[in-house]
Amino acid sequence: MKKLFGKTKINTAVFFSGNGSNFKSLLKFSLSKNSPINIKFAVTNNYQAKGIYIAKKYNIKKKIYNFKNKKKAEKEILNDLNLRSINLICLAGFMKILTKDFIKKFHGKILNIHPSLLPKYKGLNTHERVIQNNEKFSGCSVHFVNSRLDSGKIILQKKVKINKKDSPKTLQKKILKAEHILYPKAIKKILISS
Ligand code: GRF
């Protein structure tokens, strides 16, 4: 992506489906002095997502979309993103796979965070698989989203050491902490010219 950040902050939407801890860390980042983004909108497919309370707390406009009809949901989302002049989408634990058409419309402007050292361990249940395979390291990756799952260009990664005592749960916790640092760093990397 071309370095987008000039004088004005980039209007950003965050998509989440669950706890929203990455959403919260991105919100904190967006409020910091040198952040190139301004989070203006939150999208979820899950009316029980805890992230909804985070949106409320930070006074961020949010909307819940029904993905039973994905085409319809995406059409509505695109409309809402355009209304708010959104220029960057950060997927943060969003459990729906966006269609090729949607991704095309935001080409090069959708980021995702994944809890593994991609290209290893794409998809779900990463921590379980990593532990089962006796890996010494895992980590997280921020990447651009393309039409293939977890396969877009990698922006930044952070390695996390696995101890013998780690379970999928403890590993998840360690990696989440790393994610909260990595996502803002990756955004700075692509948006702030050096
Ligand atoms: C994170 O591990 C992220 O990498 C993955 O989903 C999880 C979301 O966690 N895509 P949270 O909702 O941000 O706490």
Write the pLDDT tens digit of every residue in 82-129.
999 999 999 999 999 999 999 999 999 999 999 999 999 999 999 999
Q: How far is the CA of 22 from the centre of ligand 1 (A)?
A: 6
pLDDT score for 34: 87
For the chain, the C-alpha Rg in angstroms (whole number) is 16
pLDDT score for 6: 60
Percentage of the chain modeled with pLDDT above 90:
93
- Per residue in 59-68, pLDDT (tens digit) is 999 999 999 9
pLDDT score for 7: 67
| Average pLDDT of every residue of the chain | 95
Two tokens, residue 92: 């943060």
Give the ligand 1 atom nearest the CA of 176: 2
pLDDT score for 8: 86
H-helix or E-strand containing 142?
strand 137-144
Q: Is the pLDDT of residue 158 over 80?
A: yes
Q: How far is the CA of 114 from the centre of ligand 1 (A)?
A: 7
Q: Is 143 a catalytic residue?
A: no
List all residues whose CB is within 6 A of at least one atom of ligand 1: 16, 18-23, 92-93, 113-115, 140, 176, 179
Q: How sure is the predictor about 3, in pLDDT bands with cuts at 50, 70 and 90?
A: low
Phi and psi based region of residue 132 (left: phi greater than 0; alpha: psi -120 to 50; beta: remaining): alpha
Q: Is the pLDDT of residue 193 over 90?
A: no
Instruction: List b or e across 1-34, with b for residues whose CB sees 16 or more CB atoms inside 10 angstroms.
Output: eeebbeeebbbbbbbbbbebbbbbbbbebbeeee
Q: How sure is the predictor about 33, in pLDDT bands with cuts at 50, 70 and 90?
A: confident
What is the rounded distance in angstroms from the CA atom of residue 148 to the CA atom of residue 151?
6
Q: How sure is the predictor about 5, in pLDDT bands with cuts at 50, 70 and 90?
A: low
Hey, whose CA ends up nearest to atom 2 of ligand 1? 115
| Ligand 1 probe mutation, 45, 113, 128, most atoms within 8 A of CB | 113
- Per residue in 180-191, pLDDT (tens digit) is 999 999 999 999
Q: Which residues contact 3 (CB under 8 A, 6 or more apart)?
A: 190, 191, 192, 193
